Structure 1
Amino acid sequence: MTTEAPEIKIVDSYRIACDGGEGALGHPRVWLLIPQTEGFVECPYCDAKYIHRDFEGKV
């Protein structure tokens, strides 16, 4: 049995919302703030990793 890697999304904003993306099967919407020093944040529910476009390929 294999575990799928968390989803990685490239975004243009430092403040983003994540709801799991599966409608009723997702999770509660949470607002996440990408630290401008790190360039990414991970959703505490679904482990999706959001990378700001300025940091693409650097993290």
Structure 2
Amino acid sequence: MTTDAPETIIVDSYRVACDGGEGALGHPRVYLTIPREVGYVVCPYCGRKYVHRDFADKLA
């Protein structure tokens, strides 16, 4: 059984930063690298899914 990511964000870069987006209620900023083979990465803190624009149609 898999659960959906709480939020999916389409990005133009293979390197992204995530801080939870909630200001003081977020989490420490982490830098994530999207593997070019799969086209997405999930933040280990908040579960946000970052999808590279080149893979947006394939993963929708």
- The normalised TM-score by structure 1 is 0.90
**Post-superposition offset of 1:5:** 5.0
Contact 2:5 2:48 (C-alpha < 8 Å) held by counterparts:
no
Q: For 1:35 and 1:18, locate their aligned partners in 2 and report how far apart those are by CA, in whole Å.
A: 16
Query: Structure 1 regions of 5+ residues with no counterpart?
Result: none
Deviation at 1:54, TM superposition (A): 0.3
Partner of 2:30: 30
**Percent of pairs with identical residues:** 70
TM-score, normalisation: structure 2: 0.88
Partners of 2:49 and 2:5 in 1: CA distance: 10
Structure ranking higher in helix proportion: 2
Which structure 1 residue ranges, 4+ long, deviate > 3 Å from structure 2? Answer: none
In 2, Cα distance between equivalents of 1:31 and 1:5:
18
